[in-house]
Structure 1
Amino acid sequence: MTNLQNQKQVYIIHGYTASPADHWFPWLQDKLQEDGVSVDILDMPNSQAPQLHEWTQHLLSSIEVLHKDTYFVGHSLGCVSILRYLQQVSIPEQLGGLVFVSGFTDPVPTLPSLDEFTNDKLDYKQLMDSVKMRAVIASKDDTIVPFAFSKKLANDIQADFHEVEHGGHFLERDGFTSLPIAYQVLMDMMKS
């Protein structure tokens, strides 16, 4: 049996109106599991009308152990939700990494119902100190979360920034049932 402290663990956090079965999440889970990585795609509560407290509580109750081989993959609203969670939890040692896809930490003008996730300032220094490697993937033609919002997030957390010309919001309807760039970025982190 593998020691939980030595096994790489990935948590995938979906975004607004999504579920664990959507987009590229199952594909990424399968790819990582083929590599012997433990993967959980959390089913965030009430994704059609998300509430910050509910999402943070769900993360707090679903994630049992954080360690140097813990990695998070967030999509859209999942990204800022991970950051909010990390601000509230005790982190015993620097975590392995964060991979954010179409992430944001500022209010998105077309999605005012999500403002409670972005209203309070984040302690970026504490977040950077808590997580060894950080990456943001964004598409120049994202019509839901503006490219500039993801680029700002990358700057704020001093993350490697990966821009894609034509990815939209990396949704299934944009043609994304797999996301090789996210897999590759995550695997590179795990090998470092």
Structure 2
Amino acid sequence: MTRRAIIFHGTGGSPGVAWYPWLAGRLAERGFEVEVPHYPGLNVTPIAEFRPAVLAAHTFDRDTVLIGHSGGAALLLALLEHVRVAQAFLVAGYSTRPNDSAEPVLQESYDWATIRGNARDFYFINSATDPYGCDAAQGRAMFDKLGGTQIVRNDGHFGDYNQVYDEFPLLDRLIA
């Protein structure tokens, strides 16, 4: 059986930036069927409207690995209220507004018990030096509600328009 991995880019991102193509290639070499969809409406369209389209566009099962970066990580929380997967990796993730920007990807509240039951493993990878507030405190807040593993680095936002982050070996090693 082929395992599936879906990598969700962050706000204003696209499948070809940062470490997404590198990780997709690494996972494909390991036999994963990898999707790196482009969602320009991420964190633009309110999550209640956005989530159903994402759920309908992909197949999720108990062997699926979800990887989300920044706004894509926040999207994972909304998806995990509705689907069961093997692993969820929230990179520079957040569950409350990390700064003064509007965050349409966030829900007003989350069913943490349902989310907790819908993934075998949770990983929260945040940076103490995240310039957007998607920092270790955000990761800790999710970890406290969901358990799993929290990893804190000093790696900025793990890639964006002014931070080159073309490879992510740690993430590659963690994906089972």
TM score, norm. by length of structure 2:
0.90
Task: Quote the residue 1:142 is aligned against.
Answer: 130
Which residue of 68, 77, 91 corresponds with 2:71? Answer: 77
Aligned residue runs from structure 1 range 95-110, under 5 A:
95-110=85-100
Paired amino acid for 1:29: A
Paired amino acid for 1:72: L
**In the alignment, structure 1 residue 171 sits paired with structure 2 residue 171:** no
For residues 124-152 of structure 1, what are the alpha-carbon distances to aligned partners after superposition, in whole Å with 9 as ceiling and x for unaligned? 11111111011011111111123311221
For residues 72-105 of structure 1, what are the alpha-carbon distances to aligned partners after superposition, in whole Å with 9 as ceiling and x for unaligned? 0000111121211222x3x4xx521101100000
Compare the two structures and name the one with the higher helix fraction: 1
Give the CA deviation at 1:162: 1.0
Contact 1:16–1:50 under 8 Å retained in 2: no
In angstroms, what is the RMSD of aligned CA positions?
A: 1.7
Contact 1:136–1:154 under 8 Å retained in 2: yes
Structure 2: tracts of 5 or more residues without a match: none
Task: Quote the residue 2:12 is aligned against.
Answer: 17
Contact 1:19–1:47 under 8 Å retained in 2: no
- Percent pairwise identity: 20
Whose radius of gyration is greater, 1 or 2?
A: 1
Q: Secondary structure at the match of 1:174?
A: coil
**In the alignment, structure 1 residue 151 sits paired with structure 2 residue 140:** yes
Whole-Å separation in 2 of the counterparts to 1:34 and 1:138: 26
Whole-Å separation in 1 of the counterparts to 2:99 and 2:43: 18
Contact 1:45–1:55 under 8 Å retained in 2: no
Paired amino acid for 1:128: R
Whole-Å separation in 2 of the counterparts to 1:122 and 1:48: 17
Paired amino acid for 1:164: R
